[in-house]
């Protein structure tokens, strides 16, 4: 594979389809660069963690071999792995996770180890949150004492607790968050706490968004203004809103048509707006209507690949927009072949066994079309040669040297022969012959004049 690498300050700003060796070299130079590589191969993952085990935080699914190498370098690397393999857990913790004392030692060294324990005792939970309050998010139904210990260590830990007790809220905020003013002050401090509020006011909801658009996911019934504000901040917010208003859906797809895929029940108007932005949006519509299919392929003929069993009129519109769309049609009708080749002659390469009529039509568009025809007929090969002399390679297997010479005599004798054909003939390396002599012996006046002009440029 080949590609380009674009640098941006500390590392690769964007990498795609570059050689593995190049990617390895980049992550060895700066392990942060791996964050810009989509689905890095194991060799690249390994190069990054060997440069710095913290590279694990940028790798979604490190292989077991990479995980083992990372914890070999530093056992604390295990805390950067979402789902460490059994071998990795055994290497880091041994059999300590099977006993109470072993569990206590494990969380004291690596607090996140609690994530890999079934039903840890309250004592183990307390030991874990004392070391790192954030690990409370890995504890199902922590007791009030564990919750209190976590928020004493770190007030923000309250945002990691699914249902904090009133006592915990009092500990963090000094109140039970019952009044609007108390709620407003609470979300000003930690926006994510909006998830623990019953029917927060629009003002409170808006305040929560100020600390991060993702807080929309923590608001049960966001107001219309809050929905729009969240989407305006980041279009991805639409995916966190249950039953968003139609105008909010329209706002999202107007910003990014891909957001249609994040909307559970888009309205017909939203679907229509999305496919008009980009026909590819049809892939996010279940059983699109004929109207939507036509709108999609009129905007982007390639959208045809996302439509199951398209009707003829949809096929026709797709090919009319982009001749290459014919590749997504099984057994296309001849009139569609004609339409595709007239639109762009190279599209013939996507037509299986095109009739000779279609092959000749492609050649009429451009003599280079022969290279896109898998099984050209003999007549097509000859016509291709007569259109472009450098197509001689396509006739050498079916015509003798004498027959090729006869065709050249006939072609060069044409009174209206193009200057380009004559010059291409002179320059053609595959024809070993005295070309200038051949032209003066058999060529028309136009052919000879082109030959003379060529000689004068030497």
pLDDT tens digits, 101-120: 999 999 998 999 998 898 99
177, 158 Cβ separation under 8 angstroms: no
Q: Is 374 exposed, middle or buried (0-12, 13-18, 19+ CB in 10 A)?
A: exposed
Q: At 393, is the pLDDT very low, low, confident or very high (cuts 50, 70, 90)?
A: confident
Is 11 inside a domain boundary? yes
Is 12 inside a domain boundary? yes
Q: What is the pLDDT of residue 204?
A: 97
Looking at the structure, tell me whether residues 382 and 343 fall in a common domain: no
Is 334 inside a domain boundary? yes
Q: At 20, is the pLDDT very low, low, confident or very high (cuts 50, 70, 90)?
A: confident
Q: Please state, in angstroms and rounded to a whole number, the distance separating the CA atoms of residues 16 and 39.
A: 10
Work out the average pLDDT over 147-157.
95
Q: What's the number of domains the chain is made of? A: 3
278-286 own/partner pairs: CB under 8 Å, 24+ apart:
279/303, 280/306, 281/253, 281/257, 282/306, 282/307, 284/258, 284/260, 285/260
Q: What is the pLDDT of residue 456?
A: 86
**Residue carrying structure tokens 């949809």:** 314
Range of the domain at 70: 1-92
Identify which has the larger pLDDT, 18 or 382: 382
Is 273 inside a domain boundary? no
Is 241 inside a domain boundary? no
35-77 pLDDT, tens digit each: 988 889 999 999 999 999 999 999 999 999 999 999 999 988 9
Question: Cα dihedral sign for 271, 277, 279, 281?
Answer: negative
Q: What is the pLDDT of residue 74?
A: 93
**Considering 51, 71, 92, which residue would you say is the last residue of a domain?**
92
pLDDT(13) > 90 = no
Identify which has the larger pLDDT, 103 or 12: 103
Is 288 inside a domain boundary? no
pTM, two decimal places: 0.73
159, 193 Cβ separation under 8 angstroms: yes
327-369 pLDDT, tens digit each: 999 999 999 999 999 999 999 999 999 999 999 999 999 999 9
230-263 pLDDT, tens digit each: 999 999 999 999 999 999 999 999 999 999 999 9
pLDDT(319) > 90 = yes
Give the torsion through C-alpha atoms of 32, 34, 38, 41, to 10 deg.
-160
CA angle centred on 445, ends 442 and 446, rounded to 5°: 105
Tokens of 83: 């789902």
Q: At 8, is the pLDDT very low, low, confident or very high (cuts 50, 70, 90)?
A: very low
Looking at the structure, tell me whether residues 386 and 448 fall in a common domain: yes
379, 356 Cβ separation under 8 angstroms: yes
Looking at the structure, tell me whether residues 5 and 81 fall in a common domain: yes
Q: At 443, is the pLDDT very low, low, confident or very high (cuts 50, 70, 90)?
A: very high
Q: At 394, is the pLDDT very low, low, confident or very high (cuts 50, 70, 90)?
A: confident
Identify which has the larger pLDDT, 409 or 458: 409
Looking at the structure, tell me whether residues 346 and 388 fall in a common domain: no
Q: What is the mean pLDDT of the chain?
A: 91
193-211 pLDDT, tens digit each: 999 998 999 999 999 999 9
Q: At 7, is the pLDDT very low, low, confident or very high (cuts 50, 70, 90)?
A: very low
Q: At 3, is the pLDDT very low, low, confident or very high (cuts 50, 70, 90)?
A: very low
Tokens of 198: 């019953």
Looking at the structure, tell me whether residues 7 and 73 fall in a common domain: yes
Q: Please state, in angstroms and rounded to a whole number, the distance separating the CA atoms of residues 246 and 266.
A: 8
Looking at the structure, tell me whether residues 372 and 407 fall in a common domain: no
Q: What is the pLDDT of residue 415?
A: 92
Is 293 inside a domain boundary? no
- Rounded percentage of the chain residues whose pLDDT exceeds 70: 96
Looking at the structure, tell me whether residues 3 and 22 fall in a common domain: yes
**Considering 29, 60, 92, which residue would you say is the last residue of a domain?**
92
Looking at the structure, tell me whether residues 448 and 423 fall in a common domain: yes
Looking at the structure, tell me whether residues 341 and 405 fall in a common domain: no
Q: What is the pLDDT of residue 439?
A: 93
Is 29 inside a domain boundary? yes
Q: What is the pLDDT of residue 154?
A: 95
Looking at the structure, tell me whether residues 362 and 399 fall in a common domain: no
48, 42 Cβ separation under 8 angstroms: no
């Amino acid at each position: 594979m080949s590609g380009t690498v674009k640098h941006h300050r500390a590392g690769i700003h964007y990498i795609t389809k570059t050689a593995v060796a190049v990617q390895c070299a980049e992550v060895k130079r700066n392990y942060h660069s791996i964050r810009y590589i989509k689905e890095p191969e194991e060799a690249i993952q390994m190069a990054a963690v060997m440069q710095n085990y913290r590279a694990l935080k940028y790798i979604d699914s490190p292989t077991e071999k990479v995980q083992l190498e990372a914890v070999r370098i530093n056992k604390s690397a295990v805390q950067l792995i979402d789902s460490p393999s059994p071998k990795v857990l055994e290497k880091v913790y041994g059999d300590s996770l099977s006993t109470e004392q072993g569990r206590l030692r494990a969380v004291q060294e690596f607090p996140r180890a609690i994530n890999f324990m079934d039903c840890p005792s309250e004592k183990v939970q307390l030991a874990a949150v004392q070391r790192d309050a954030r690990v409370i998010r890995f504890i199902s139904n922590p007791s009030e004492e564990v919750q209190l210990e976590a928020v004493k260590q770190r007030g923000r830990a309250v945002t990691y607790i699914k249902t904090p007790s009133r006592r915990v809220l009092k500990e963090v905020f000094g109140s039970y968050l019952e009044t609007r003013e108390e709620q407003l002050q609470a979300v000003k401090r930690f926006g994510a706490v909006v998830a623990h509020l019953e029917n927060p006011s629009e003002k409170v909801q808006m305040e929560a968004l100020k600390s991060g658009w993702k807080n929309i996911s923590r608001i049960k019934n966001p107001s219309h203004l809050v929905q729009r504000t969240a989407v305006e901040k980041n279009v991805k917010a639409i995916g966190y809103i249950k039953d968003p208003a139609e105008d909010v859906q329209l706002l999202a797809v107007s910003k990014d048509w891909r957001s249609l895929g994040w909307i559970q029940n888009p309205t017909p108007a939203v679907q229509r707006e999305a496919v008009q932005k980009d026909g590819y949006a049809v892939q996010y519509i279940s059983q699109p209507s004929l109207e939507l299919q036509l709108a999609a392929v009129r905007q982007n003929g390639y959208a045809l690949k996302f439509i199951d069993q398209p009707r003829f009129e949809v096929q026709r519109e797709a090919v009319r927009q982009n001749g290459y769309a014919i590749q997504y049609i099984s057994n296309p009708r001849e009139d569609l072949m004609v339409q595709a080749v007239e639109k762009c002659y190279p599209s013939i390469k996507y037509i299986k066994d095109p009739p000779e009529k279609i092959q000749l039509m492609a050649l009429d568009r451009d003599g280079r079309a022969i290279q896109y025809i898998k099984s050209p007929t003999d007549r097509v090969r000859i016509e291709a040669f007569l259109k472009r002399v450098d197509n001689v390679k396509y006739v050498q297997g079916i015509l003798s040297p004498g027959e090729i010479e006869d065709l050249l005599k006939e072609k060069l004798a044409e009174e209206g022969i193009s200057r380009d054909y004559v010059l291409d003939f002179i320059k053609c390396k595959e024809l070993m012959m005295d070309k200038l002599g051949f032209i003066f012996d058999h060529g028309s006046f136009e052919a000879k004049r082109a030959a003379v002009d060529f000689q004068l440029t030497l």
